[in-house]
Amino acid sequence: MDALDEFDSHESVVRVQLTLRAEQEASLQESRIKEALGQASSITIQRDVQSDLRTRLGDEASQSLTPIELVERYFALLEEPEENLPSLLARAEEIIHDSDET
């Protein structure tokens, strides 16, 4: 909020973009942000809430892992029973293959 105090928002159009973890969203006080930008003529607040699963998979996952490796990691995070994995992964491979053809 200190950065907002130094910002001259008089008659400005302001867009605030926030990237939050899911557990942070409940504690966000938009009213305090709007109050700090009170002189702005328009204030828009956009939230990008990162899901726990996305956070646990990691940002590098989408760039360095194959689609099937991402699916395997997803099932591991869900703690899917080991006996279900062969059929789930086989179906995932079919879906991935079908989407590559279209």
Rounded to 5 degrees, φ, ψ at 11 are 55, 30
Question: pTM for this structure?
Answer: 0.44
Q: 16 burial class (0-12, 13-18, 19+ CB within 10 angstroms)? A: middle
Q: Where are the domains of the chain?
A: 2-50, 57-101
Q: Which residues contact 95 (CB under 8 A, 6 or more apart)?
A: none
**Would you write out the chain's pLDDT as a tens digit for each of its 102 residues?**
556 666 677 778 888 888 887 778 888 888 888 888 888 888 888 888 776 655 566 655 566 788 888 888 888 878 888 898 999 999 999 888 887 766
Quick one: pLDDT at residue 74? Answer: 82
Quick one: pLDDT at residue 49? Answer: 79
Whether 28 and 47 have beta carbons less than 8 Å apart is answered as: yes
Quick one: pLDDT at residue 36? Answer: 84
Quick one: pLDDT at residue 99? Answer: 76
Q: Token digits for 10?
A: 């008089």
Q: Which residues contact 85 (CB under 8 A, 6 or more apart)?
A: 72, 75
Dihedral through CA 65, CA 71, CA 74, CA 80, nearest 10? -140
Amino acid symbol at 37: L
